[in-house]
Structure 1
Amino acid sequence: MQPGSPTNGRIHWDPDNAKHGLAQLVLTVIELLRQIVERHAIRRVEGGTLTDEQIENLGEALMNLEEKMEELKEIFNLDTEDLNIDLGPLGSLL
């Protein structure tokens, strides 16, 4: 998020800083996909259809993805609230 600008759940398309708004949008989509994949993985683990090795690999992959997201948020000076965009009458995305 840009210093001094309030978090209001909207993508900030400042013409002078379009790169930041685009990064916010892209990271929001990536975070949404990450959460979907994580939920699907949890269902598969709870369903008992994975081997111990597959569970271990899945857990490691999800941890690595989460770490990378944290790195990217830091690079673009965003926090989790910045990725939770407001969809109007549909509510918040994340």
Structure 2
Amino acid sequence: MTSPEPRRGRRDPESRSVPRHLDVDRESVERGLAGLVLTVVELLRQLMERQALRRIDQGGLTDDQVEDLGLTLMALEERVTELREHFGLTPEDLNIDLGPLGPLLPRD
């Protein structure tokens, strides 16, 4: 009796170049996830800041609203910095390189 032929497109599990299990360090996973989340938060913070400046320039906000907005954005920036430092990340760690498009976060 002959053995059945392997299906096309399927590899023999023994011939894989990818390890069967992945050694994952909990700290590096947490750091990577924190970096990703903080990158998104920082991008949104910068976009909100630019939008706020546009609205201020157009005169669409009262003095109290400008004050509240400024305090809120400063508190958010401070918290992002605290979290970034807690996880041992630098500002450059949050600026993902998009290849030909350049860095994700605009430089201030």
TM range (shorter): 0.7 to 0.9
Higher relative contact order (CA 8 A, sep 6+): 1
- Show the 5 A alignment for 1:59-78: 59-78=70-89
Consecutive unaligned residues of structure 2, counting only runs of 5 or more, are: 1-22
Choose which of 19, 36, 39 in structure 2 pairs with 1:28. Answer: 39
**What residue identity is the alignment partner of 1:25?**
L
Q: CA deviation at 1:25?
A: 0.7
> Please, what is the CA RMSD of the aligned residues?
1.3
Task: For residues 39-74 of structure 1, give each alpha carbon's deviation from its aligned partner in whole angstroms, at most 9, with x where no partner exists.
Answer: 000000111011111111111111111111111111
Q: TM-score, normalised by structure 2?
A: 0.71
Q: How much identity, in percent, do the aligned residues show?
A: 63
Q: CA deviation at 1:15?
A: 2.9
> Aligned pair 1:91/2:102, yes or no?
yes
Q: TM-score, normalised by structure 1?
A: 0.81
Q: CA deviation at 1:19?
A: 1.1
Q: Which residue of 2 aligns with 1:15?
A: 24
Q: Which residue of 2 aligns with 1:57?
A: 68
**What residue identity is the alignment partner of 2:58?**
G
Say which SS state the counterpart of residue 92 (structure 1) adopts. Answer: coil
Distance 1:54 1:71, change over 3 A: same
Return the index of the structure with the highest Cα Rg: 2
Q: CA deviation at 1:32?
A: 0.4
Q: How many residues align?
A: 81
- Could you list the structure 1 runs, at least 4 aligned residues long, displaced by more than 6 angstroms after superposition: none
- Taking the aligned partners of 2:73 and 2:97, their CA distance within structure 1 comes to 26
